[in-house]
């Protein structure tokens, strides 16, 4: 609810936009970069829609100056991007490649010149292929390599970047990458996915320690999670149990170690037939549980769940891509449904801002005192350039209006939300969907690479200027 005479968002609230390296950069063979798991995966026939790859993406590697100008025109205060590990430390071991570091240093300097605060994510899913060849995230050594990489980037950019994020959405890395296989590296081994989840937790903890050791005291360190908002379809015990399982498998698996230093007991028992968790070594959970300055929250949509009885087929509209392999180890009987009566985005994700408010209030209870930032929120829409050359994405404006209203309402109820990053600045490579899904507020013609701000970009610019939600129409 808007309070009369007051802006919806306080003066110190940060508005920005987000991207990730593989989704926008291109230039995959330049500057000493070698393949990451996403290069390999995208070049494997049948893995990405239409055979799309990130080879060129939206050519940000060459057009970053123009992209910073776009951000500046929109009045963005902060820009969240990720560093490509393969560009900075191509084999995942040893010294950094100066050209890779220089690219990010120029980008950061360009942002600072325009008064845009850089918000750096170290890992947005693009593991150097050589580390996957050595076993990937299911192996403990990958967590150790990640901490070394964190030190290299911190040493190079710590004098100019204040805001650091270890991992983006480790749930996707672990479970889409190693259980359902719809993301790189495309493995379908549930036990390996749980090992991966643990080593991502450990990598986060080691990464935070490495960053704290290398960065000045003013640095702020956090992680971006994509917590699920599961909702039981009915209040039957089976459906309530489905909600509980997904809470543990989507949220407790990372929030437990990172925020509380323990895995939830029900996660361990729900997955007992898959793993005995003996890969968790003494001290790992304390390492994963590092003091944080920020918790990044990526929210798009809630999940409607039920439990399937007997041999009934399990419907899996969880929005995480089609695979006969489930990304939910220990939840074979959980079905995911599409709710009726709400709009559905191009990703097939229901639009429901109440999930945003519910999530922010839950995290406020879960991690009192930890500042929250919405590090991703937005929608894929069927954007078209009109005859007049404009893109009138009214559905995206309605989505943003609803979700930012939910952020404001959660803040009014005590959630300490300090910023919002719209996903995404530019249309880009949407992983297994290739270029078929447009999330940008700036339209990109993927042939000419011409950028055209959509109506939502202007709407967002108005919001940033006025700090009050402009009407959705």
Q: Which residues are marked as active site? A: 169, 376
Residues 6+ apart with CB under 8 A from 341: none
By CB under 6 A, tell whether 427 contacts ligand IFM: no
Around Cβ 313, how many Cβ atoms within 10 Å? 7
Burial class (CB in 10 A: 0-12, 13-18, 19+), 1: exposed
By CB under 6 A, tell whether 193 contacts ligand IFM: no
In the complex, what is the shortest distance from the CB of residue 468 to ligand IFM, in angstroms, rounded to a whole number? 27
Nearer to ligand IFM, 298 or 306 (CB): 298
Nearer to ligand IFM, 239 or 430 (CB): 430
Nearer to ligand IFM, 267 or 374 (CB): 374
In the complex, what is the shortest distance from the CB of residue 408 to ligand IFM, in angstroms, rounded to a whole number? 22
Question: Where do the H-state alpha helices sit in 215-347?
Answer: 237-246, 253-255, 265-270, 284-288
Question: Where do the H-state alpha helices sit in 90-236?
Answer: 98-113, 129-133, 140-157, 170-171, 177-178, 190-214
In the complex, what is the shortest distance from the CB of residue 113 to ligand IFM, in angstroms, rounded to a whole number? 27
Question: Are the C-beta atoms of 15 and 420 separated by less than 8 Å?
Answer: yes
Binding mask 433-462 for ligand IFM (x = CB under 6 A): ------x-----------------------
Nearer to ligand IFM, 20 or 53 (CB): 20
Among 298, 345, 364, 441, binds ligand IFM (CB under 6 A): 298
Please state, in angstroms and rounded to a whole number, the distance separating the CA atoms of residues 83 and 79. Answer: 13
Binding mask 374-413 for ligand IFM (x = CB under 6 A): --x-------------------------------------
Nearer to ligand IFM, 298 or 307 (CB): 298
Number of residues that bind ligand IFM (CB under 6 A): 8
Question: Are the C-beta atoms of 383 and 393 separated by less than 8 Å?
Answer: yes
Q: Contacts with ligand IFM in 148-187 (CB under 6 A)? A: 169
Binding mask 20-49 for ligand IFM (x = CB under 6 A): x--x--------------------------
Nearer to ligand IFM, 393 or 430 (CB): 430
Please state, in angstroms and rounded to a whole number, the distance separating the CA atoms of residues 23 and 93. Answer: 23
In the complex, what is the shortest distance from the CB of residue 102 to ligand IFM, in angstroms, rounded to a whole number? 25
Residue identified by tokens 């495309």 is 186
By CB under 6 A, tell whether 423 contacts ligand IFM: yes
Binding mask 323-352 for ligand IFM (x = CB under 6 A): ------------------------------
Question: Are the C-beta atoms of 58 and 399 separated by less than 8 Å?
Answer: no
Nearer to ligand IFM, 395 or 430 (CB): 430
Residues 6+ apart with CB under 8 A from 172: 125, 183, 226
Our measurement of the distance from residue 1's CA atom to the centroid of its chain's CA atoms, rounded to an integer in Å, reads 28
In the complex, what is the shortest distance from the CB of residue 428 to ligand IFM, in angstroms, rounded to a whole number? 7
In the complex, what is the shortest distance from the CB of residue 167 to ligand IFM, in angstroms, rounded to a whole number? 11
Residue identified by tokens 């749930």 is 171
Residue identified by tokens 């409607």 is 304
Among 352, 357, 427, 430, binds ligand IFM (CB under 6 A): 430
Nearer to ligand IFM, 32 or 319 (CB): 319
Q: Contacts with ligand IFM in 81-140 (CB under 6 A)? A: none
Residues across the chain: 473
Q: Which residues pair with 7 in a beta bridge?
A: none
Residues 6+ apart with CB under 8 A from 168: 20, 82, 121, 123, 124, 125, 224, 296, 298, 375
In the complex, what is the shortest distance from the CB of residue 169 to ligand IFM, in angstroms, rounded to a whole number? 5
In the complex, what is the shortest distance from the CB of residue 124 to ligand IFM, in angstroms, rounded to a whole number? 6
Rounded to whole angstroms, what are the CA distances from 21 to 13, 17, 209, 301, 310?
25, 14, 24, 24, 44
Name the residues that contact ligand IFM, by CB under 6 A.
20, 23, 169, 298, 376, 423, 430, 439
């Amino acid at each position: 609810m808007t309070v009369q005479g007051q802006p919806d968002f306080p003066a110190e609230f940060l508005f920005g936009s987000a991207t990730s390296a593989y989704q926008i950069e291109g230039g995959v063979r330049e500057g000493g970069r070698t393949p990451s798991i996403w290069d390999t995966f995208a070049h494997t026939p049948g893995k990405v829609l239409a055979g799309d790859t990130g080879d060129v993406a939206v050519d940000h590697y060459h057009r970053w100056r123009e992209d910073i100008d776009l951000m500046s025109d929109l009045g963005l205060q902060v820009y969240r991007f990720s560093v490509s590990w393969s560009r900075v430390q191509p084999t995942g071991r040893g010294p950094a490649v100066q050209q890779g570091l220089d690219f990010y240093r120029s980008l950061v300097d360009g942002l600072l010149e325009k008064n845009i605060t850089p918000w750096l994510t170290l890992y947005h899913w693009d593991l150097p292929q050589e580390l996957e060849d050595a076993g990937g995230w299911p192996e403990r050594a990958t967590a150790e390599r990640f901490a070394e990489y964190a030190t290299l980037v911190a040493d190079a950019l710590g004098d100019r970047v204040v805001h650091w994020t270890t991992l983006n959405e480790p749930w996707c890395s672990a479970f889409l990458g190693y259980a359902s296989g719809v993301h790189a590296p495309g493995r379908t081994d549930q036990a390996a996915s749980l090992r991966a989840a643990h080593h991502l937790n450990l990598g986060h903890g080691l990464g935070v320690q490495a960053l704290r050791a290398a960065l000045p005291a003013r640095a702020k360190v956090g992680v971006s999670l994509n917590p699920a908002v599961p909702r039981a379809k009915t209040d039957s015990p089976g459906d309530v149990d489905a909600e509980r399982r997904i809470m543990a498998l989507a949220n407790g698996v990372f929030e437990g170690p990172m925020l509380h230093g323990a895995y939830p007991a029900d996660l361990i028992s729900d997955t007992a037939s898959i793993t005995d968790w003996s890969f968790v070594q003494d001290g790992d959970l304390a390492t994963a549980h590092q003091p944080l300055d920020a918790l990044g929250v990526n929210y798009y949509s809630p999940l409607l769940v039920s439990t399937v009885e007997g041999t009934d087929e399990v419907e899996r509209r969880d929005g995480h891509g089609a695979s006969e392999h489930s990304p939910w180890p220990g939840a074979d009987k959980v079905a995911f449904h599409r709710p009726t009566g709400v709009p559905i985005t191009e990703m097939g994700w229901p639009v429901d801002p109440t999930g945003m408010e519910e999530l922010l209030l839950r995290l406020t209870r879960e991690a009192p005192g930890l500042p929250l930032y919405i590090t991703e929120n937005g929608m894929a829409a069927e954007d078209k350039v009109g005859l007049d050359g404009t893109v009138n994405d009214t559905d995206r404006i309605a989505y943003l209006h609803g979700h930012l209203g939910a952020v404001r309402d959660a803040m009014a109820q005590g959630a300490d939300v300090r910023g919002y990053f719209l996903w995404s600045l530019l249309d880009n490579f949407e992983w297994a969907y290739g270029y078929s899904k447009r999330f940008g507020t700036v339209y990109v013609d993927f042939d000419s690479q011409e950028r055209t701000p959509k109506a939502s970009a202007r709407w967002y610019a108005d919001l940033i200027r006025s700090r009050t939600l402009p009407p959705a129409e």
